[in-house]
Structure 1
């Protein structure tokens, strides 16, 4: 298993941005040693000298490395701040191209699936779950109920979506066991009804199993998102289920249990 040094982490992250292994290694080496020849880079980062030239040419074409045409040639990485800006722009361009390609795809219709049938799907990852929560809130027409449990599941950006929902005339109700969290939400908008959930199952994690309730989101009579936060081996991961459909049993039960907060939210 590769030791997780700052150098190795930087190489791995650069590879996630689309750099090939030798390109990432050469860039990290040049960032660390300021400048160097192909031989110096090869000795420093354990990349074959012939592959250093190939990697540096690719990095230069991406605007990440400068070449001094001396004998022998010397290379240096552009400043870190500039490199991050270049990588960010490349990433955004890649996302835009991907979006265009995906939107050009024609969706095939499954004739065996009735679009009105209730469905349950699972999601993993806090970022993915937050994105789905935002989309559900954006689509709310009459009411939003959000129960917050584990602080790990409290995400930036969701609060703005809740405020936007109240601006559209949607009743927004938020329950939380944390007084500081309730205060923060209340201060963000007087139109959001905030209450102390006082649900033991929401605020008391199962320490033996490493599981706690993350967030529960109910949208109108149609949408549901419920998540748990799982802690294991030093990692924290959020998992969720999403449901839809007015005849979905899970949505029906939760709607009934929480109706006292949804039907008469004080202003």
Structure 2
């Protein structure tokens, strides 16, 4: 008389197995005694009264009060309108409390996490590109990494400004968005180091999102590792400095072509 799907839905609103069966049977019979409910549900007699009392306290069932007592479900429309109202009020209360916790909880100190496996590095980069809300600055000097994250970079560029800085111009052809050259300072400080600096680690990728979190992928003697920092207290300053120095690659190329043309067109001196 009562299907398993209905029992499942009744459990989802907080009923246990016996409560769901008793309420379902009462809804079908409309009025029944404890004995009749037992006969239809096969729930032990000792548990029937306990279950009916619980359903009454929750506002699902009403008793005639006579002996022997007969039970019936409270008007379904009235019951579920009450449940919807209580559910909305409960969710609103949870929401307000969580929002209050956001403002009450102080910003954590800068924390760094080593990303030792390829999976953790990939997962972190993809998540940062996906959740960026205002800006992405990406420095990359590795064609394999650019190819791997091509789709995520392109999708991010449709939502927020993405500044992709590459050292070599041929890397700009991999991703179909505007690319930038960083100039000598960025090239020598981030992409490569002089022998005098005695730094053996090379940077393959640096990603900064919303000027508050960063992930860097580095290589040392063939071993790749990553560092994720959030909140990164240096990301805001470094982002501003990078944006001040970069120049769109097309403009750099055109300026070079213009110089070649001027040199070619210059009259020969006698």
TM-score when normalising by structure 2: 0.45
Query: Which structure has more helix as a fraction of its residues?
Result: 2
The structure that has the greater radius of gyration is 2
